[in-house]
Structure 1
Amino acid sequence: MSEPTLDIIAIGNAIVDVIAQADENFIASEGLEKGAMQLLFTTEDAEALYAKMGPGVEASGGSAANTVAGIGALGGSTGFIGQVADDELGKVFKHDITALGVKFDTPMRDGDPATARCLILVTPDGERTMNTFLGAAQHLHVSDLDSDLIESAAILYLEGYLWDPEDPRVAMEKAIDIAHNAGRRVAFTLSDGFCVDRHRGDFLRLIEEGRIDILFANEDEIKSLHETDDFDAAVAATAAKTPLLVVTRSEKGAIAVQDGERTSVAAEPIDQIVDATGAGDQFAAGFLVGQTEGRSIQDSLVMGAVCAAEVIQHYGPRPEHDMKALIKARLG
């Protein structure tokens, strides 16, 4: 069996974040709920709001894409599989993610729907009102998978957010087979409590069938998975059937359970929480890089905690500091 040439390959929603300033009157005139997230269901709705927005900053986003950006910042080698349309924002996504050194060769999709985007309106008080159009991201098909790329990575990383539409769900199941047949590990993040509510049966099936080697969850997600308020019981039930379970607990730190052995770390000290967006994504980046570097579970958890602490102290879901230097200062 050949040695991997990449550390991690991720499959997820290919989304472009568009962030612009807006006043209270604009929020009200568009009938938006300030501070909330709403879905936009058509290209026309997304284009109409996009056209009305003021000058903004555009950057590639999406949960798993944010994780591979973090992996790249830590010096890991990585790739991404996700669907964009052949349009302006599709080109923005491709440029941004490849500029980070991420291998991204998924063919662009012609025609409707347009590239997924999250239109983020920031009011003067710093509140973010998000409007998400999933668009082309929901049309990732089995035929878009690059088997050689998946086989080349030590770990395949999948996001639960992409489990909603049928085509990507079938593609991710196929990708798991490709990775396991090549002797690689599969990591999966539950992504969100609402995702767990919608797909609990499928997620439990994947765990029962031994198709997930590394499972990421936060405290609420792991309890939701087993429909219990007993955190320790939920962890025990999942860890019994998952080779490596990683659970983040916000200010309480994080735990991992491997072969029945539980390891815990405290949250890293921070000056101030500015924006919690991307904390889980960057934790996963740090932990996965630790694993591909052959570090202990303890050190991998610390790396995840350092990455999460960095990202919550500034706006945006991706690292802004020298992450390799931060890790070296913490672990040597």
Structure 2
Amino acid sequence: MAGRYMNPFLTVYGHISLDQIVSVDEFPRMNTSVDVTNKQTSLGGTAANVAVTAARLGVPTAICAFVGNDFPKKYEDLMASSGLIMDEVVKVDGYDTSTAIVINDHDLNQKVLFFQGPHGYASKIGIDLLKNGKQSKFVHFCTGEPEYHIRIMKELRPSGCVIAIDPAQEIHRIWNERLLADAMAVSDMMFCNRFEAESVKRYLGTDLFEQVRYPFILCTKGSEGCDLYLDGEPMHFPIVEAEKVIDATGAGDSFRAGFYAGQYHGMSIEESVVVASTVASFTVEKTGALTNTPTWDQVMERADRYLARL
């Protein structure tokens, strides 16, 4: 696949998926059914969400991922139209593209069924995607096979890029104490939400991120804002208010994209966190991770009063 080429500021590794997002009033009990009140299919996956949003915000961004030959052309075109560098998106025979079935209840709690697709078996495919990562300032690792991602991190380390790990919901299932220690040894930043943080802390043998000597941990907490830990020193940031909240799908991914957009535009870490929250506030206003990406001017207009409080 090809997009407009330039040297990337950001390279993102992880899933490109098809998201089937459905809404229900409440989750069904075992062996029962409920009516779906809304259904939508869209481009998704952690890497696609982060990368497309960052590119739309003006950040030169590459995406590195494996998809199946069934990957719809309309979504390929959508990604390319954002300006993404896509020469390391590889179509693989014998796999269907990963798929997420996301179920939201009335309170926007989520349950997700996820089909890994080829990026979940990247080591078996045997192709190391390194070119764009070696040219980037930041490299962000989302969901995907941990062993493959850690091997790529080790290969990229000598290039001097800033490496971020973001296992998302997979931290509970396919990561463990050893894998997290290996990833943290060759990375500089970690992103998680408050639920994922519980597994991270368990693997690290601590109850408090303040006790973790690691350069950068950013933990999002939904309506409670987010906490930033720089070498264990905590800072709290309140939420940036949305005009309305419809769907939380992809809000965390757009948060990450917003952070990198702040960094690309020369902002401090603290200012970039505010920008991250601002971008996420737009995402939740419509259904789908990529249906309400703001312009940079819209971000700055909404973020202005929050930035003034720093």
User: Which category of TM-score, normalised to the shorter sequence, fits these structures?
Assistant: 0.7 to 0.9
Question: Is contact 2:279–2:294 with CA below 8 Å preserved after alignment?
Answer: no
- Candidates 10, 13, 35, aligned match of 2:12: 10
Could you give the per-residue CA deviations for residues 254-273 of structure 1, whole angstroms, max 9, x where no partner exists?
A: 12122444332110122332
Report SS of the residue matched to 2:248.
coil
TM-score, normalising length: structure 1: 0.75
Pick one of 54, 57, 64 that aligns with 1:74.
57
Contact 1:94-1:104 at 8 Å conserved across structures: no
Matched residue, 1:280 = 252
Q: Which residue of 1 aligns with 2:181?
A: 205
Query: If you compute each CA radius of gyration, which structure gives the higher value, 1 or 2?
Result: 1
1:161-176 equivalences under 5 Å are 161-163=143-145, 169-176=146-153
The reply to whether residue 311 of structure 1 matches residue 283 of structure 2 is yes
| Partner Cα distance (2:119, 2:90) in 1 | 12
Task: Encode CA deviations 1:254-296: one digit per residue, 9 max, x unaligned.
Answer: 1212244433211012233211111111111111222233311
Classify the secondary structure of the residue corresponding to 1:181: helix
Percent same amino acid at aligned positions? 19
Residue 210 of structure 2 is aligned to residue 236 of structure 1? yes
Task: Give, in angstroms, the shift of residue 197 of structure 1.
Answer: 5.2
Aligned residues: 293
Structure with greater helix share of residues = 1
- Structure 1 residue 18: Cα displacement: 4.5
For residue 168 of structure 2, the aligned residue among 191, 215, 240 is 191
Amino acid at match of 1:254: C
After the TM superposition, which of the residue ranges 247-256 and 288-297 deviates more from structure 2?
288-297
Shift of 1:99: 2.1
Offset of residue 140 of structure 1: 2.5
Structure 1 gap ranges (5+): 23-27, 37-55, 164-168
- Kindly tell me: are residues 264 and 96 of structure 1, through their superposed partners in 2, closer, same or farther at Cα, counting changes over 3 Å? same
Summarize the Cα distance change of 1:143–1:136 in structure 2 as closer, same or farther, 3 Å threshold: closer
Residue 216 (1) aligns with residue 194 (2): no
Distance (Å, rounded) in 2 between the aligned partners of 1:189 and 1:18? 22
Mark the CA change 1:216 to 1:77 in structure 2 (over 3 Å): closer, same or farther.
same
Would you say 1:269 and 2:241 are equivalent positions?
yes
Match of 1:320 in 2: 292
Are 1:103 and 2:88 an aligned pair? no
Distance 1:294-1:32 versus aligned 2 partners, 3 A rule: farther
Q: Gaps (5+ residues) in structure 2?
A: 1-5
Residue in 1 aligned with 2:67?
A: 84
How far apart are the structure 2 equivalents of 1:120 and 1:204? 26
The 1:117/1:92 distance shift into structure 2, 3 A limit, reads farther
What TM-score do the two structures reach when normalised by structure 2?
0.80
| Equivalent-residue separation in structure 1 for 2:208 and 2:103 (angstroms) | 37
Q: Residues 17 and 117 of structure 1 are in contact (CA less than 8 Å); yes or no, is this contact kept in structure 2? A: yes
Three-state SS of the structure 1 residue aligned to 2:90 is: coil
